[in-house]
């Protein structure tokens, strides 16, 4: 192949002057233009990103979810479950013969997330220094939020599992959860009293703003000069891939006979096939992921650090009110801590929960 390229390029030395992405494009083109295609079939021949001109119709500016989105989706054990699906499909036929559409899904999933990606891609974060994708994500979650995944052991790209042995640096936001919960509790007081015009109003916008400011500072501290941006991009990309896979009856879901009416139902059925059940609170994690991302994104704009802006969280017709209510409800379910409890009884419940 590359000897033929030497002829095309006008000399052998020129072959080594190409950019690696051009060489990758050349190989893709070489494959796509192959003769005797009937003798060398392929379930799928994805178009290379350069030759195909990329995916069109992208908006002029793009946005992706906060790292918290990836964390919450991963809490469902979706990565562990699909890792096992991939393993079974690539090493045998226990899960059945897959349709071409599912084979393409398998190939894309393996290429994107379970191989050593070409070094020039922005989402290529794996290397000899950090060889395990799962450990890279856990490290990012720990640094940004000071929290770990509920599953004690992740499955790394090499299939051995990281055993929780990822790096936990000192510069981690260990107070994140505590401040976040205070922010959410205070916000709930504001939501409860938004229509209160007669009685004593315990809403404390200054306190909400102060918690938002502390969250802003700790999150931005970890992001200085773009630190963790690529790790976030990779984690969000990977989890959104799996999230989309279970969001509808996609080809792999149909092939595994795991159809359902909701993401958690489909994930549960896929989990049954590979004998790895999802988290019992998967539904809440799926419900939380996007609203929590939006709330944290708003906090990171620093706009909520001003008490005058805080009422947007309470506005019944506003976009943030629904998000923050969903976050408060499902965060309480997943953690077992009652964020709506601003009274003695609720605090007692929280204290009991803390003792368990």
Partner 1 sequence: MAEEKDQKAKEKALQTRTSSPEDPEALLEKVLQQPDVLRAVVEGFFQQRMNMTADKAVPELTDAQKELEEKAKLFRDGTAGLSSEELKDSAQKTPEITDVYGDDPPEWTRQRRDK
Quick one: DSSP state of residue 278? P
What letters, b where the CB count within 10 A reaches 16 and e where it falls short, cover 313-322? bbeeeeebbe
Tell me if 54 contacts partner 1 by CB under 8 A. no
Cβ contact 51:268 at 8 Å: no
Sequence-distant (6+) residues with CB within 8 A of 339 are 181, 184, 185, 188, 328, 331, 332
Q: Which stretch binds partner 1 (CB under 8 A): 90-98, 150-158, 318-326, 345-353?
A: 318-326
**Selected binder of partner 1 within 2, 64, 241, 276 (CB under 8 A):** 64
Q: How far is the CB of 348 from partner 1 (least distance, A)?
A: 31
DSSP reduced 3-state for 196:
coil
Give the interface segment with partner 1, choosing from 78-86, 151-159, 245-253, 334-342 (CB under 8 A).
245-253
Closer by beta carbon to partner 1, 62 or else 224: 62
At closest approach, how far in Å is the CB of 101 from partner 1? 6
In terms of Cα–Cα distance, which of 108, 224, 104 is closest to 171? 224
- Between residue 190 and residue 209, which ones bind partner 1 under the rule CB under 8 A? 194-198
Q: Please state, in angstroms and rounded to a whole number, the distance separating the CA atoms of residues 290 and 239.
A: 12
Q: How many residues bind partner 1 (CB under 8 A)?
A: 56
Rounded least distance, CB 274 to partner 1, Å: 22
Residue 123 vs 241, nearer CB to partner 1:
241
Which of 3, 11, 17, 41 forms a contact with partner 1 (CB under 8 A)? 41
Position 307 contacts partner 1 (CB under 8 A): no
Site for partner 1 in 85-144 (CB under 8 A): 100-101, 104
Q: Which is nearer to partner 1, 53 or 119 (CB)?
A: 53
Q: Is 45 in the site for partner 1 (CB under 8 A)?
A: yes
Rank residues 62 and 225 by Cβ distance to partner 1 and give the closer one: 62
Choose the binding region for partner 1 from 111-119, 155-163, 271-279, 313-321 (rule: CB under 8 A).
313-321
Check residue 309 for interaction with partner 1 (CB under 8 A).
yes
Taking the least distance from each CB to partner 1, the nearer of 210 and 247 is: 247
- Alpha helices (H) in 118-204, listed in sequence order: 133-145, 176-192
Token readout for 42 is 């392929």
By C-alpha distance, which of 110, 47, 54 is closest to 238? 110
Interacting residue with partner 1 among 312, 333, 341, 349 (CB under 8 A) = 312
Q: How far apart are CA 167 and CA 161, in angstroms?
A: 14
Distance of CA 157 to the CA centre of its chain: 16
**Closer CB to partner 1, residue 167 or residue 244?**
244
User: How many Å from the N-terminal Cα to the C-terminal Cα in the chain?
Assistant: 64
Number of other CB atoms surrounding residue 329 within 10 Å: 16
40 binds partner 1 (CB under 8 A): yes
- DSSP calls for 202-262: ---HHHHHHHHHHHHHHHHHHTGGGTTHHHHHHHHHHHHHHHHHHHTT-HHHHHTT---SS
Which of 21, 117, 151, 297 binds partner 1 (CB under 8 A)? It is 297
**Residue ranges binding partner 1 (CB under 8 A):** 29, 32-34, 37-45, 47, 51-53, 59, 61-65, 100-101, 104, 194-198, 240, 244, 247-251, 290, 293-294, 297-298, 301, 303, 308-309, 311-312, 314-316, 318-320, 323
């Amino acid at each position: 192949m590359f000897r033929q390229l030497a002829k095309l390029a006008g000399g052998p030395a020129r072959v080594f002057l190409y950019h690696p992405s051009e060489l990758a494009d050349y190989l893709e083109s070489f494959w796509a233009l192959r003769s005797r295609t009937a003798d060398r079939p392929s379930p799928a021949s994805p178009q290379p990103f350069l030759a195909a001109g990329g995916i069109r119709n992208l908006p002029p500016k793009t946005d992706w979810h906060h790292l918290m989105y990836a964390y919450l989706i991963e809490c469902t054990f979706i990565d562990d479950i699909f890792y096992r699906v991939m393993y079974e499909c690539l090493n045998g036929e226990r899960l059945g013969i897959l349709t071409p559409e599912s084979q393409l899904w398998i190939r894309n999933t393996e290429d994107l997330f379970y191989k050593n990606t070409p070094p020039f891609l922005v989402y290529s974060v794996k290397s000899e220094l950090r060889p395990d994708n799962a450990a890279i994500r856990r490290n990012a979650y720990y640094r940004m939020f000071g929290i770990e995944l509920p599953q004690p052991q992740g499955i790394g790209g090499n299939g051995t599992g990281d055993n929780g042995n990822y790096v936990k640096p000192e510069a981690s936001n260990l107070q994140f959860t505590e401040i976040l919960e205070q922010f959410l509790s205070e916000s709930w007081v504001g939501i409860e009293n938004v229509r209160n015009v007669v009685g004593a109003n315990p809403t404390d916008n200054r306190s909400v703003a102060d918690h938002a400011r502390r969250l802003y500072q700790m999150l931005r501290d970890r992001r200085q000069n773009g630190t963790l941006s690529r790790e976030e991009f990779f984690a969000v990309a990977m989890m959104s891939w799996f999230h989309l896979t279970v969001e509808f009856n996609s080809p792999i879901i149909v092939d595994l006979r795991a159809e359902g009416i909701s993401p958690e139902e489909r994930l549960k059925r896929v989990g049954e096939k590979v004998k790895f059940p999802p988290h019992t609170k998967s539904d809440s994690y799926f419900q939380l992921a996007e609203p929590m991302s939006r709330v944290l994104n708003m906090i990171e704009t620093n706009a909520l650090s001003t008490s005058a802006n805080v009422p947007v969280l309470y506005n019944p017709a506003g976009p943030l009110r629904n998000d923050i209510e969903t976050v408060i409800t499902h965060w309480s379910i997943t953690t077992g801590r009652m964020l709506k409890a601003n009274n003695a009884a609720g605090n007692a419940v929280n204290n009991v929960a803390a003792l368990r």
